Amino acid sequence: MEIYKCGTLVTVKLANIKGMITCCSIRFDKVNYEITYFEGLLQRTIWVYETEFELNESETQKIGFKK
C-alpha cells in the first residue's frame, strides 16, 4: 500500500479547494486523508479518499543553486 506524504499540496476535485495533506488514516484496506486549507482567516479541515483529490504537481519546484 502506498500513501501520500503529509505536506503534499493537493486540490479537492468537487469543491476545487487547494490545501495540504496533514494526516492520513488507514482503516482496514481504506486510506483517508485529512486536507487542511484556509477559508478567509479560518483554518478548516476535510477528510477525503484518494479518488477525491488531485496532486498540485504544477506548483512544485526544485530547490537548489542556479548554475
Q: How does pLDDT run across 9-66, given as a tens digit for each residue?
A: 999 999 999 999 999 999 998 999 999 999 999 999 999 999 999 998 755 555 566 5
Looking at residue 18, its pLDDT comes to 95
Q: For residue 45, is it within any domain?
A: yes
29: amino acid identity, one letter: D
- Domain assignment of residue 4, yes or no: no
**H/E element, 10:** strand 9-12
Per the structure, the count of domains in the chain is 1
Does some domain include residue 63?
Answer: no
The range of the structural domain enclosing residue 42 comes to 9-56
**Cell 505536506 maps to which residue?**
7
Considering the entire predicted model, what is its pTM?
A: 0.80
Contact, 19 vs 6, CB < 8 A? Answer: no
Per the domain annotation, does 51 fall within a domain? Answer: yes
Using an 8 Å Cβ cutoff, are 22 and 6 in contact?
yes
pLDDT number for residue 34: 97
Query: Do the domain assignments include residue 1?
Result: no
The pLDDT assigned to 41 comes to 95
pLDDT at residue 62, as a whole number: 59
Residue 64 domain flag: no
Please tell me whether residue 57 adopts helix, strand or coil conformation: helix
